[in-house]
Amino acid sequence: MKLVRALGTLVLAVTLGSLLVQAVSQGPNYASASSAVGWVNASNAVGTPDNTCAERTGAAGGSLDLTGFGFTIPDAAVIQGITVEVDMAATSSSEGVRVRLLKGGSPVGNTQDIYGVAGQEDCSTSAFRTVGSPTDLWGETWTASDINSANFGVRLSKLGSANTAYVDAVRITIEYQDVMTVTVISGGALSANVNSAATVESGRVEFLSQTTLQVVATRNWCVIAISSVTSYPPGADDPGADAVEIRNELGNFTPAGSGVIVQRGTPTPAGGLTVNVDLRVMLDDFGDGKIGSYQFGVNYSIEEDGDGAGLCP
């Protein structure tokens, strides 16, 4: 039914939707490549433990680089911590290994030391020892691409001036935030005057405006828009929530009171991607004589797509 009197100003407030964040770990992954200066049998430290070791005897130093850990962290993930486990032994408590991470093949950040302990004094008695933690970034900043690089890994150097340090294997576990967010980056406050007779008689505002969203997601996703409407200030009769229509993922304007999927996609690059959302107001949902000002809200949420839960089919 059409309006028979003029309608006042419509104000549309666009708000941020849901934020999904959970801690996820990947690993432990073992090295698949090695290179060394001053160590012998470097390839013995590649792969899982097998009681064959890379070794360095005598003076401190040298470098045993282990890389090729094969991580596949999603681009948009936020790295939280790096745990390194070294299957090692040393012939005395004054011998051991110094651990440093490799970014792009170069050593970076803090060093962490592991010394020999009684009962783990040769390759056959080596055992895993842990440095780092799920919240330790080793004094460095990391992106998913840094971790996924074939040149990411560890550099081990010998501690102590005599005897022997042994390394059978190295494994790494990465802790990261599995992040899915949707943020309004433009079009956050929209209004329109619809008090002309021509506009009222048309039964709709064909195009109120467009909102631009930024989506950051580490999983398959969909963005859902849900609208609401109240009289503003409170007191007048309220039209139905479906007075706002939003263009859905198929390109069709759809009543948004119960939710509209505006876009879906696969994991995004680290910087996310933009999604444009078109909105319009349907005046014929107001009924006869409902004059005044109204405030609309549009909430955007993000759901994992394909998990059988939430609003994504």
pLDDT, tens digit, 9 for 90 and up, residues 207-223 = 677 889 999 999 889 99
Beta bridge partners of 273: 215
In whole angstroms, what is the distance from residue 21 CA to residue 237 CA? 39
Q: Using CB atoms within 10 A of its CB, is residue 1 exposed (0-12), middle (13-18) or buried (19+)?
A: exposed
- What number of CA atoms fall less than 13 Å from residue 158's CA on the CB side? 27
User: Does residue 218 contact residue 205 with C-beta atoms inside 8 Å?
Assistant: no
Neighbouring C-beta atoms of residue 26, cutoff 10 Å: 19
Beta bridge partners of 110: none
CA–CA–CA angle 21, 25, 26 (5° rounding): 130
- The stretch 63-76 carries a mean pLDDT of 96
In whole angstroms, what is the distance from residue 102 CA to residue 116 CA? 23
- The stretch 170-183 carries a mean pLDDT of 92
Peptide bond into 28 cis (omega under 30): yes
Q: Read off the pLDDT band of 275 (50, 70, 90).
A: very high
- Percentage of the chain modeled with pLDDT above 90: 55
User: Does residue 4 contact residue 289 with C-beta atoms inside 8 Å?
Assistant: yes
Which pLDDT score is estimated for 153? 98
Which pLDDT score is estimated for 2? 34
- The stretch 194-218 carries a mean pLDDT of 68
What domains are defined for the chain? Answer: 9-21+187-304 (2.60.40), 31-177 (2.60.120.260)
Q: What is the pTM of this model?
A: 0.76
- The stretch 55-60 carries a mean pLDDT of 94
Compute φ and ψ for 124, nearest 5 degrees.
-70, -15
Beta bridge partners of 222: 264, 303
